[in-house]
Structure 1
């Protein structure tokens, strides 16, 4: 997959990082220095906010995105991975130290090369907001910091249980829409991104974007206000659902592409079928200055 859009539309599988042609780069307003150029200032923050075995799919969602982002060229040092629980080591797991998103069990998402930056009870609203804003205690290592700058293109993916203008963390606290908007505002003021793509897979996901006001932001949600987001399929061996519908179809879209394919962000939006999702995907684009047909040329 090609750089999703010079800006990591990596959205969920995000295709960022491949060489882009002169035509593609020009669409982003930054002329290339040669016939091809590599868009390398790409970052990803991938967050599973749910605990407990029955939320297995949320960890699988996040690890699926993690795998895809790495496959497309974003290295671990530019990925912040936050997992609120460790399903791989859960006593109920029939496949110890493994996590799958498909019944054929051909791809272990929790392989040897997974680097988790925040795990278990480290995944809190406070730590999440500190990652975005860069307001860390001095003792926090660089490996757990988002070291982006004003030229960075960031994918923020979150999955878990949510409701009207909130996303639950650990089933004990909530990230409110105004918390997210304030963090993004601080990021913009501190020159921590050029373009930010926020993707959320949860119930009533669209409401989490209602307070955003910072320019350079695109937002994609799995459901509208009043709608639930649904799991895709159950793994009878694992005993629970292993991936959510929105994430499943986002991944399917990107898996059809390779690094050199050319597709726009609008083609991703148009690929979402409400009948298959069982919800209505939402896109907020008013804070982004370019036409979607010009964004990303995957």
Structure 2
């Protein structure tokens, strides 16, 4: 009897690239209640990549503070990114991998390069390979070629550039999308030199990055302008969306953001019009069918 063997293999959808899996590293580097918006920024991006299909097992979430549990929070156990408080970002469906004083420059760089302690659980490791697209999002307070961690230390543009070089040498990525929302953000990608890195920042040298609005009941700003308008665009995106990275870049408007968003493409080998948003923000899966025919002797009666 002839048996038709059908093998269904789930793979991450690819564009012109050969990446087969998507990961995200999302980091809020700020402590203290008045930096509530930075945690909301990070949690908003976390919610977006999860909505578009990247599982928690492929997301590293780092929060330097816990606004949800802050005694000043008028809505305990919640974090919102809008004054209408329609969406609680801090639900029981989040997995924080590094929290509080675990969020350091050393930890961040070790996660990128997988130079973590041997006892570190798989859920807290960036287990990427040469076929991985990696979305890295940072938010906090920064300046010319540095980003503060915990108001106690700084990661420099050189540090991140060298970490990416190590990742490339170790075959830990296919492509990287680096996005940062901080003052003078565009200086943070000025030292990159590794191939296949696309970088986006919220503000130019000597330019601030601004909050969008405050919630009078929460008492502080709840989201930054650059992240707010990225999210406004990304809410249009579904898992099978045809929107591209060029569409996202074209949506940046100084009048709305109040700073000059920057994009660095010289290290990146693709036209942004050919790169789907979901190549970085999603984890769309397709089905490949491989038909193998196995011959077996038929029983004759």
Tell me, yes or no, if the aligned pair for 1:19 and 1:260 is still in contact at 8 Å: no
Structure number with greater Rg is 2
User: Corresponding residue for 2:7?
Assistant: none
User: Corresponding residue for 1:174?
Assistant: 154
Encode CA deviations 1:41-62: one digit per residue, 9 max, x unaligned: 0000000000000000000000
User: Corresponding residue for 1:103?
Assistant: 83
- The structure with the largest strand share of the pair is 2
Equivalent position to 1:28, from 16, 25, 31: 16
User: Corresponding residue for 1:70?
Assistant: 50
User: Corresponding residue for 1:136?
Assistant: 116
CA shift, 1:29, in A, is 4.3
User: Corresponding residue for 1:280?
Assistant: 260
Distance 1:198 1:236, change over 3 A: same
Aligned CA-pair RMSD: 1.4
TM-score normalised by L of structure 1: 0.87
What is the DSSP-based 3-state SS (H/G/I as helix, E as strand, rest coil) of the residue aligned with 2:242?
coil
User: Corresponding residue for 2:205?
Assistant: 225
Tell me, yes or no, if the aligned pair for 1:163 and 1:204 is still in contact at 8 Å: yes
Quote the Cα distance in structure 1 between the aligned partners of 2:116 and 2:67: 28
The within-5 A match list for 1:68-217 is: 68-217=48-197
What is the DSSP-based 3-state SS (H/G/I as helix, E as strand, rest coil) of the residue aligned with 2:44?
helix
Tell me, yes or no, if the aligned pair for 2:79 and 2:90 is still in contact at 8 Å: yes
What is the DSSP-based 3-state SS (H/G/I as helix, E as strand, rest coil) of the residue aligned with 1:132?
helix
What is the DSSP-based 3-state SS (H/G/I as helix, E as strand, rest coil) of the residue aligned with 1:232?
strand
User: Aligned pair 1:295/2:283, yes or no?
Assistant: no
User: Corresponding residue for 1:36?
Assistant: none
Question: Which consecutive residues of structure 2, in runs of 5 or more, have no partner in the other structure?
Answer: 1-10, 279-301
Equivalent position to 2:36, from 47, 52, 56: 56
What is the DSSP-based 3-state SS (H/G/I as helix, E as strand, rest coil) of the residue aligned with 2:211?
coil
Quote the Cα distance in structure 2 between the aligned partners of 1:175 and 1:206: 14
- Greater RCO between the two (CA within 8 Å, min separation 6)? 2
Count, aligned residues: 268
Distance 1:55 1:29, change over 3 A: closer
Question: Which consecutive residues of structure 1, in runs of 5 or more, have no partner in the other structure?
Answer: 1-17, 31-38
Encode CA deviations 1:120-175: one digit per residue, 9 max, x unaligned: 00000000000000001112111111000000000000000000000000000000
Distance 1:40 1:88, change over 3 A: farther
Tell me, yes or no, if the aligned pair for 1:47 and 1:62 is still in contact at 8 Å: yes
Encode CA deviations 1:96-143: one digit per residue, 9 max, x unaligned: 000000111121100001100000000000000000000011121111
User: Corresponding residue for 1:35?
Assistant: none
Q: Which moved more, 1:100-109 or 1:42-51?
A: 100-109
